[in-house]
Amino acid sequence: MQKDFPEISCDILIIGGGSAGAMAAIRAKEIDPSLDVVIFEKGEITYSGCIARGMDALNIVAVPGISTPELYVDASRMACEDILDEPPSYRMAQRSWDMLRKLENWNVCFPVDAKGQYEVLQVHPKGRFCVTMKEPELKTILAKRLRDLGVRVLNRTMALELLTVDGRAAGAVGINVRTGEIVACAAKSVILTAGGTARFGLPNNGYLYGVYDYPGNTGDGYCLAYRAGAELSGFEYTLIYYIVKDINAPLLYITLTRGAKLLNAFGFDKSREHPSIKSMLVDHHREGSGPMRIVMSHLPEQRIREIEEILFTTERPVQERFYEGRGVNFRTGEIELWPTECFLCGGHGLTGVRVDENAASTVPGLYAAGDTSLVARGHLTGAFVFGEIAAESATEYARRAGKTGYDDGQVREAIRDRDARFGQGANPIPVEEFEYKVRRIINDYIVPPKNEYKLDRALWWMERFRQELRETVQVRDVHDLFKVYEIENIIQCADLSAHASRARKESRWGMWHYRTDFPERNDADWVKHIVLSRGTEPRDVKTTIKDIVRLQEGAR
């Protein structure tokens, strides 16, 4: 029957067109070119996602003769302080070398020396896994490839709700963020690759979009999965990086592994210690020895030019103008470091949709990869490899699923909700001011150091914000409308984070989950997952404690 709203159907729907989503789309078409693959992308896929342009390294590669998947799992378990499901991490490392070779075949540049050897850096607690990359056009390469394969991309389309049939994923409702038009996509399987929650805590400078990761990442994937009934975990892992002040740009690994010095506020050289981000934050916050700074004046000119080339071409070209504006010359000056805003992320941290080694969530037909999935500290390698794994699993599921279909009522409810929000034009509070307040309160009550009183206050505030978002926030146009949807997701993620942080009654991961009422790490009781799932409605958060998944004997 003819619908009174736009409707499409496909075999596989991918929500999010960043690194993981692009790779998932490409892999699905490689498996079966006849598959109909659709991507909902909130931005424009050519430059969308956290790797909007280039990248300086493939962070995790088990290069034969240098490292092994087994060593990687050991190193990652140390970095995660034992909160690590081993099978997904093992499988990622197992496929990492093939991924590097595949990217090379696509003309992605991995520099080699005169002997044909890659530059492999040590950035993990043990072993060398970080392979230098020099590819300023990485994202455009991926975008062109998926388009050439016939993937359908709906740019400027934000997913509002997953469609479900009999408890399985059956597509999604999307909204065009420019026109406000609702679209329904029926799918045989769904892959979530919509990133983490970059817009979470508020940066010190108060700039809403001055965040470390892609600012369009507002926890959409987490919230879609949660509302559909999937399990989430790691929301107490509240990341704060230590990076270039006011621009939140990559720097540490690029400079320290090439001989730069790290000095604290008193001029003590911390370079030889090669401290982690966690230990830098401890120095900065607890010891008061920050801010730290990077100094390169002692390096030879060729090495400085190498660093500049990486930062100003492959990574984020805007950095060149930033340093010029600050009057910073790498040959004579210093680069001040500062804590970033707090954020939630699977690729850099441990937050996400719980998946197994096949990228499957706990909802049939629903898969996740990249920063949306919990493949601990997977970085870009995790996005690429689990994008492929998700595509392989989703393709197999789609073959068994039969016809697409869904309940029209789910779409009509989304339309009614959109129209009701458009009725908020006379409300008094601009959406930007409301977002500022929400994220300031996140800084007050969820950002570590934490304690039970603060977390209870966070829960109180998030419940209040849900109500105020409907009753006081002004929606003047489509731009305001989709910002309201984003803020709703930020509030939901904050609520989930407060619940998870309250449940983990210990301190772990340095400053990232430091509780002043439980200041010690407690391995006897808390080498466990804090698992979150939906109750009867989204605000009803169920918290359970579950065991870590280890590799079976002989599985290696």
Residues 390-441 pLDDT 10s: 999 999 999 999 888 888 999 999 999 999 999 999 999 999 999 999 999 9
Res 520: pLDDT: 98
**Residue found under tokens 């490689």:** 30
Mean pLDDT of 323-351: 94
Whether the predicted pLDDT of 252 surpasses 90? no
Q: What's the pLDDT score for residue 198?
A: 97
Does pLDDT of 505 surpass 70?
yes
Q: What percent of the chain has pLDDT over 70?
A: 98
What local confidence, expressed as pLDDT, does residue 247 receive? 84
Predicted local distance difference test score (pLDDT) of residue 553: 60
Residue entry with tokens 């979530």: 192
The strand pair at 37-40 and 152-154 is best described as parallel
- At 556 the pLDDT is 54
* Short-list 425, 417, 427, 434, CA closest to 483: 434
> Which residues lie closer than 8 Å to 98 by C-beta, 6 or more apart?
none
Preceding peptide of 250 cis, ω within 30°: no
Torsion of CA 13, 410, 180, 25, to 10 degrees: 0
Q: Please, what is the angle between helix 431-445 and helix 478-503, to 10°?
A: 10
- What is residue 80's predicted lDDT score, i.e. its pLDDT? 96
pLDDT in tens, 482-500: 999 999 999 999 999 999 9
- Report percent pLDDT > 90 for the chain: 84
Extract the tokens encoding 208. Answer: 């809403």
User: What is the C-alpha to C-alpha distance for residues 46 and 416, in angstroms, rounded to an integer?
Assistant: 32
Using the structure block, give the residue that is written with the tokens 């300031």: 440
Which pLDDT value is given to residue 251?
A: 84
pTM value? 0.96
* 185: nearest Cα among 49, 36, 46: 36
pLDDT digits (tens, 9 = 90+) for 165-217: 999 999 999 999 999 999 999 999 999 999 999 999 999 888 999 998 899 99
Quick: pLDDT tens for 435-475.
Answer: 999 999 999 999 999 999 999 999 999 999 999 999 999 99
Interval 527-531 mean pLDDT = 98
User: What CA–CA distance (Å, rounded) separates 454 from 444?
Assistant: 8
The count of other CB atoms within 10 Å of the CB of residue 15 is 29
- pLDDT over threshold 70, residue 275: no
Query: What is the pLDDT, as a whole number, of residue 2?
Result: 56
The phi and psi torsions of 139 (rounded to 5 degrees) equal: -70, -35
Q: In order of start, what are the domains of the chain with their CATH numbers?
A: 7-55+68-101+136-237+344-410 (3.50.50.60), 240-339 (3.90.700.10), 416-524 (1.20.58.100)
The DSSP 8-state label assigned to residue 272 in this structure reads G
